[in-house]
């Protein structure tokens, strides 16, 4: 299969002009012999310029769309590489490395020290030997993990994690801890989706502190959705594989809430007993029972929602006033549609805290599945078959090992959260609630207890 080469704007314009010149000759009635010869203008243009006919068609179509009656400068063309975004290796780290960064910050907390982006960078480089990022890169990673600097009354600035994320982490850890302490006999079922590409290059993923090669890059892609438990391995009959359309992005853009809801219900029907289901909060997992207007919806949408929910309002009220009405009516405790369905079917859903994939053992299972595929050379048509074989090779013992690893992390972190609360309380009491900063320049190396 030939790979389409990039054609820059100036080359496109030249090809477009050649095509139009030949097209003009083909319509010359004064010279019918020459006109007949140039009737196949696209084919001759392709041969003359050394490109394919499809490339000529694509360029002429782009030129025609960009040409309007008002345009003076003529057709305009884009250069593919101008919109190319280089991967930022210093800041585009994977979920497991992001967890290492977060834990590094927490280690400073636990020692009663003030973490700074430079200190976190130094500690991170000792754990990840090949990381070459700068202090600014580390600060950007910390911002993406929702850390920010808070100013204390004595002028020092303290790196703090966003409070709602901390609260959700503690809530999750306490729920899982209580299940184990109360000897709850219900199986804990973990679910998630992953993607597998036809191998063009290799990336790495962390599994039980070891790095494994996994397939990444472009090419044929499938999305796999599954669930499993240490009690019985993968849920029987719950595997879902979606073959992506050509050009799908690396995220799961072809998975949506309707597909996932259908799969989720069928998966629960295959469970032999009431279970605890653990899943994350990605968009298509999190449809609400009660939908509210979005902040960018128009005034009519807000008025319709208020009317349907029996809320009286004046026709003179502005959009800003209607937004405030809806905001006051929003429930602070979100009720998810899938959680309600699970409850009706006799199961309980526990939500993972955002950005804490390390608590989900199926992430380690996916690393095992991908490592089974990674060193095999195959055609795109074999991808789904190889994925099926890799999934079938996962045993109940594999699940037990991965679940045990994640449960140890959960137990250790639950204990640490209690100690960390006592360590941070004296510092939190000194923080000025009116001031916070997201500037990397506020990272002061002199911040020490």
Task: Assess whether 169 and 62 both reside in one domain.
Answer: no
pLDDT tens column, 193-211: 988 876 433 343 333 333 4
Does 209 reside within a domain? no
**Site of tokens 């013992």:** 397
Check pLDDT > 60 for residue 16.
yes
Mark whether 243 and 190 lie in a shared domain: yes
State whether 277 and 374 are in the same domain. Answer: yes
- Asked if residue 111 belongs to a domain, the reply is yes
Q: Is the residue at 33 inside a domain?
A: yes
Q: 122: left (phi > 0), else alpha (psi -120 to 50), else beta? A: alpha
Q: Are residues 246 and 195 in the same domain?
A: yes
Taken in order 52, 57, 61, 63, is the CA torsion positive or negative? Answer: positive
> Taking the alpha carbons of 390, 393, 396, 402 in that order, is the dihedral positive or negative?
negative
- Is residue 312 domain-resident? no
Q: Based on the domain organization, do 411 and 284 belong to the same domain?
A: yes
**Spatial separation of the C-alpha atoms in residues 214 and 196, rounded to whole Å:** 9
- Domain match, 55 and 153 both: no
Confidence of residue 383 (pLDDT cuts 50, 70, 90): confident
Provide, rounded to the nearest whole percent, the portion of the chain with pLDDT above 70.
81
**212 in a domain, yes or no?**
no
Q: Are residues 336 and 233 part of one domain?
A: yes
pLDDT digit string, tens, across residues 211-246: 444 444 455 778 899 999 999 999 999 999 988 765
Buried b (16+ CB within 10 A) or exposed e, 165-176: bbebbbebbebb
Pair (274, 361) in one structural domain: yes
Least confident range of 223-227, 339-343, 430-434: 430-434
* Residue written as token pair 């309002």: 313
Where are the extended beta strands (E) located within 374-421?
none
Mean pLDDT of 150-154: 76
Inside any domain, residue 301? no
Which of 35, 79, 86, 36 minimizes the C-alpha distance to 59?
A: 79
Of the candidates 47, 52, 61, the residue with the CA atom closest to the CA atom of residue 38: 47
Of 408, 352, 417, 357, residue with least CA distance to 170: 417
CB 363 within 8 A of CB 409: no
Q: Same domain for 224 and 144? A: no
Half-sphere exposure of 300 (CA within 13 A, CB side): 0
Domain containing 352 — which CATH number?
A: 3.30.420.10
pLDDT at 252 over 80: no
Range of the domain at 115: 95-161
* Both tokens assigned to 424: 């941070």
Mean pLDDT of 148-167: 83
Q: What is the pTM of this model?
A: 0.68
Residue 393 — pLDDT band, cuts 50, 70, 90? very high
Q: How confident is the model at residue 80 (pLDDT cuts 50, 70, 90)?
A: low
Does one domain contain both 179 and 103?
no
Rounded Cα gap, residues 206 and 224, in angstroms: 19
* pLDDT for position 379: 59
Of 8, 99, 108, nearest in space to 59 by CA: 8
Question: What are the DSSP calls for 391-448, one per residue?
Answer: HHT--HHHHHHHHHHHHHHHHHHHHHHHHHHHHHHHHHTTEEEEEEE--GGG--TT--
The count of other CB atoms within 10 Å of the CB of residue 19 is 22
* pLDDT tens sequence across 274-298: 999 999 988 888 888 777 888 788 8
Query: How much of the chain is helix, strand and coil, in % rounded to 5?
Result: 50, 15, 35
User: In angstroms, rounded to a whole number, what is the distance separating the alpha carbons of residues 191 and 188?
Assistant: 10
- Confidence check: pLDDT of 412 > 90: yes
Asked if the structure places residue 188 within a domain, the reply is yes
Highest mean pLDDT of the ranges 2-6, 24-28, 257-261: 257-261
Give me the CATH number covering residue 136.
1.10.10
More confident residue, 92 or 53: 53
Helical packing angle, 362-374 and 383-392, nearest 10°: 130
Of the chain, the percentage scoring pLDDT greater than 90 comes to: 34
Local structure of residue 202 (DSSP, 8 states): E
Q: Residue 68: which residues within 8 A CB-CB, separation 6 or more?
A: none
Closest CA to 436 of 235, 201, 148, 167: 148
Residue among 17, 134, 8, 133 nearest 74 (CA): 17
Asked if residue 249 and residue 124 are part of one domain, the reply reads no
Which of 32-46, 108-122, 399-413 ranks highest by mean pLDDT? 399-413
From 143-147, 311-315, 319-323, 375-379, the region with the lowest mean pLDDT: 375-379
Query: What are the DSSP E strand ranges found in 293-427?
Result: 348-351
Do 412 and 375 sit in the same domain of this protein? Answer: yes
Average pLDDT over the chain, rounded to whole?
Answer: 81
Domains in the chain, number = 3
Structure confidence at residue 257 as a pLDDT band (50, 70, 90): confident
Q: With respect to residue 427, please indicate whether it lies within any of the assigned structural domains.
A: no
- Rounded distance between C-alpha atoms, residue 440 and residue 140, angstroms: 8
């Amino acid at each position: 299969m030939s790979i389409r080469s990039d054609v820059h704007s100036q080359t496109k314009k030249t090809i477009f002009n050649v095509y139009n010149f030949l097209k003009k000759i083909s319509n010359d009635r004064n010279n019918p012999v020459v006109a007949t010869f140039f009737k196949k203008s696209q084919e001759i243009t392709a041969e003359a310029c050394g490109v394919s006919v499809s490339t000529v068609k694509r360029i002429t179509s782009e030129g025609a769309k960009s040409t309007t009656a008002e345009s003076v400068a003529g057709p305009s063309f884009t250069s593919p590489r101008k919109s190319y975004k280089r991967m930022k290796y210093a800041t585009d780290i994977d979920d497991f490395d992001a967890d290492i960064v977060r834990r590094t910050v927490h280690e400073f907390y636990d020692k009663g020290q003030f973490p700074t982006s430079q200190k976190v960078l130094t500690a991170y480089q000792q754990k990840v030997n090949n990381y070459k990022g700068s202090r600014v890169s580390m600060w950007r990673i910390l911002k993406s993990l929702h850390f920010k600097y808070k100013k204390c009354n004595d002028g020092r600035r303290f790196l703090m994690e966003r409070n709602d994320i901390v609260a959700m982490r503690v809530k999750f850890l306490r729920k899982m801890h209580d299940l184990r302490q109360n000897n709850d006999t219900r199986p804990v079922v973990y679910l998630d989706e992953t993607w597998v590409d036809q191998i063009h290059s290799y990336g790495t993923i962390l599994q039980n502190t070891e790095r494994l090669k996994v397939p990444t890059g472009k090419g044929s892609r499938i999305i796999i959705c599954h669930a499993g438990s240490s009690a019985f391995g993968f849920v029987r009959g719950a595997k879902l594989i979606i073959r992506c359309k050509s050009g799908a992005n690396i995220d799961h853009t072809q998975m949506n809430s309707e597909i996932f809801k259908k799969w989720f219900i069928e998966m629960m029907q295959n469970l032999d007993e009431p279970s605890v289901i653990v899943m994350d909060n990605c968009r298509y997992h999190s449809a609400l029972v009660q939908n509210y207007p979005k902040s960018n919806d128009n005034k009519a949408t807000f008025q319709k929602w208020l009317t349907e929910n029996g809320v009286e309002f004046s026709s003179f009220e502005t959009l800003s006033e209607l937004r405030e009405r809806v905001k006051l009516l929003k429930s602070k405790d979100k009720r998810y549609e899938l959680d309600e369905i699970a409850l009706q079917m006799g199961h309980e859903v526990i939500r993972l805290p955002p950005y804490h994939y390390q608590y989900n053992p199926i992430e380690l299972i996916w690393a095992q599945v991908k490592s089974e595929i990674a060193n095999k050379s195959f055609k795109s048509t074999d991808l789904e078959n190889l994925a099926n074989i890799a999934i079938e090779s996962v045993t109940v013992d594999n699940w037990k090992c991965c679940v045990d690893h994640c449960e140890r992390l959960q137990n250790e972190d639950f204990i640490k959260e209690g100690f960390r609360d006592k360590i941070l309380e004296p510092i939190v009491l000194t923080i000025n609630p009116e001031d916070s900063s997201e500037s990397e320049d506020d990272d002061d190396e002199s911040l020490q207890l």
